[in-house]
Amino acid sequence: MDYIQNYQTLWFFLILILLAGYSLLDGFDLGIGALLPFLGKTKEEKDVLINSISPVWDGNEVWLITGGGALFAAFPHAYATAFSGFYLAMMLVLFALIFRAVSMEFRAYDDVRAGIWEKAFVAGSALAALLFGVALGNVVYGVPLDNKMEFTGNFFTLLRPVPLIFGITGFTAVLLQGATYAVMKTEGDLQQRAFRAVNILTAVNFVTALVYFGTIVFTFDDIFTNWMFYLAVLFTLLWLSAIFFSVRHKNDSAPFWESSFSFIGLWLVVAAVHFPNLIKASNDPMLNITIYNSSTSMQTLKLMSIIALVGMPIVIAYTIFVYRIFKGKSKSSVHY
C-alpha cells in the first residue's frame, strides 16, 4: 500500500504524538513552574519543586524542537503558514520559553535577584502553557487564509473566544500535570498542599474540558456523527474522574498517569475533529491546509518514517532509563 496518502496520514499522527508527548512531559515542568508560588511556601519547598524538574526539563523541551522539525519536514506549508502568520504570538512563546529556561539557572546563582528570576520562571512557564493551546485552537477552529496558503488575519484574530477556550483548557491541563507530578515527587506538607491542588485542579479541568467539548459541539459541523469524538470525550472524563479516587486513597503516583491519560484524551478530541486538516481556513473550506495539499514528497515522508520509527523508540528507551535514575522524592539540596 505504497500510496503517499498513507504516509501523509502516518505523519499526521506521528506529529500529533510528538506534540502530545511534548504536552505531557514539558507539561508537567511548565505546570510546576506556573504553580510554584501556590505549592511552595518556603524557599526550601520551592527548591524541592524546581529540583524535581531540573534534571529533565531540557530533554522534555526537545519534544517540541523535534515536533517543530517534523512538521517542517512533513508539512512545510503548515509550518510556514502558522509560524509566520502567528508571528507575534510565536515571538511571545519564544520569549516565555527563554525566560523559563534561563531563570532556573539564574535563580540558583543570583541570590540578590532570586525573587525576580522566580517570577520570570513562573510567568514564562504560565505564558508558554497558555499560548500553545491558543495556537492549537486557532488552527483547529480556523483562521483566514488566502489562496497562497498565507494567513490574512492579525494578532487579534488569534484571540477569538474559541481559540481562547482551547488555550484555557490546555493551560488547566498543564497545571494538573504539574500538580500531579508534584504529588509524586514531594513529601510532607508540600505533598499535602499538592494533593489539595490536584483535587481543585481536577474539578477545574472537568469544567474547562466540558466547556471545550461543548464549544466543539456547537461550532463544528458533522460533529453528531463523529463517534471518535464522543469516545475521546468519554476517555478524558473517565481518566479525570479516576484522579479523585486516587487522591482519596492518597496514591502519590497514579494521579500523574491519570492526568496524562486525560490530557491524551484532549488530543484525541483534536484528532477526531481535525483530521485530515492541519490549518482550517475560516473564510473558505476550499482553502484549508490539509495533509494532502501541504506535504513534502513521498521520498521525504518515507525517509522521515524510517528516522522516526527507528530513532524514537531508542530515544524513549534512554529517556526512561534516565527518568529511573532520578525517580523517588525530590530534595531541597542537590549535589550541583
Partner 1 sequence: MSALLLARLQFAFTICFHFLFPAMTLGTALIILISETLYLIKKDETYKKITDFLVRLLGLIFVIGAATGIVMEFSFGTNWSGYSRAVGDIFGPILAAEGVIAFFLESVFLGVLLFGRNKVSRGVYWLSALLVFIGGHLSAFWIVVANSWMQTPAGYTINEAGKIILGNFSDAVFNPSTIVRYVHTIIASWVTSAVMLAGIAGYYVRKGLHGETAKTMLKVGIILFALTPLLQLGAGHAHAVKVINLQPEKAAAMEGHFNTINGAPIYALGYVDVENQKTYGIYIPKGLSFLYNFDWNSEIKGLNDYPKKDWPPVNFVFQVYHIMVGAGMAMIALGLLGAYLLWRGKLYENKFYLFILPFLIPLPHIAHETGWIAAEVGRQPWIIYKLMRTSNAASVVVSAGEITLSLIMFFIIYTLLAAMFIKIFLKIVQKGPAA
Selected binder of partner 1 within 4, 16, 17, 90 (CB under 8 A): 90
Query: b or e along 143-177 (b: 16 or more beta carbons within 10 Å of the residue's beta carbon)?
Result: bbbeeebebebeeebbebebbbbbbbbbbbbbbbb
**Cα distance between residue 136 and residue 67, in whole Å:** 13
**Cα distance between residue 275 and residue 266, in whole Å:** 14
Of the pair 145, 266, the CB lying nearest partner 1 is at 145
Of the pair 82, 233, the CB lying nearest partner 1 is at 82
Query: Where do the H-state alpha helices sit in 186-325?
Result: 188-219, 227-248, 254-274, 298-325
Pick out residues in 110-139 that bind partner 1 (CB under 8 A): 110
Selected binder of partner 1 within 2, 3, 109, 221 (CB under 8 A): 109
Pick out residues in 30-59 that bind partner 1 (CB under 8 A): 51, 54-56, 58-59
CB 122 within 8 A of CB 70: no
- Asked if 72 touches partner 1 (CB under 8 A), the answer is yes
CA angle, 310 as apex, 306 and 313 as ends, to 5°? 140
x-or-dash pattern for partner 1, window 274-313, by CB under 8 A?
A: ----------------------xx-xx--xx--xx--xx-
Which of these ranges, 23-31, 41-49, 144-152, 225-233, lies near partner 1 under the rule CB under 8 A? Answer: 144-152
- Asked if 249 touches partner 1 (CB under 8 A), the answer is no
Selected binder of partner 1 within 37, 91, 207, 241 (CB under 8 A): 91
DSSP H or E run through 290: strand 289-290
Minimum CB–partner distance for residue 303 and partner 1 (Å):
5
Selected binder of partner 1 within 4, 17, 101, 204 (CB under 8 A): 101
Angle between helices 57-74 and 87-109 in degrees, nearest 10:
160
- Which amino acid would we find at residue 282? S
Query: b or e along 302-318 (b: 16 or more beta carbons within 10 Å of the residue's beta carbon)?
Result: eebbeebeeebeeeeee
Asked if omega into 255 is within 30° of 0 (cis), the reply is no
- Which amino acid would we find at residue 97? L
Minimum CB–partner distance for residue 221 and partner 1 (Å):
28
Supply the DSSP symbol for 243.
Answer: H
Angle between helices 43-53 and 188-219 in degrees, nearest 10:
60
Of the pair 154, 192, the CB lying nearest partner 1 is at 154
Of the pair 55, 196, the CB lying nearest partner 1 is at 55
Query: b or e along 206-224 (b: 16 or more beta carbons within 10 Å of the residue's beta carbon)?
Result: bebbeebbebbeeebeeee
Which of these ranges, 21-29, 31-39, 91-99, 238-246, lies near partner 1 under the rule CB under 8 A? Answer: 91-99
- Asked if 333 touches partner 1 (CB under 8 A), the answer is no
Minimum CB–partner distance for residue 80 and partner 1 (Å):
4
Of the pair 241, 299, the CB lying nearest partner 1 is at 299
Minimum CB–partner distance for residue 100 and partner 1 (Å):
9
Selected binder of partner 1 within 5, 44, 65, 211 (CB under 8 A): 65
Q: Which residues bind partner 1 (CB under 8 A)?
A: 51, 54-56, 58-59, 61-62, 64-66, 68-70, 72-77, 79-85, 87-88, 90-91, 93-95, 97-99, 101-102, 104-106, 109-110, 149-152, 296-297, 299-300, 303-304, 307-308, 311-312, 315, 318-319, 322, 325-326, 334-336
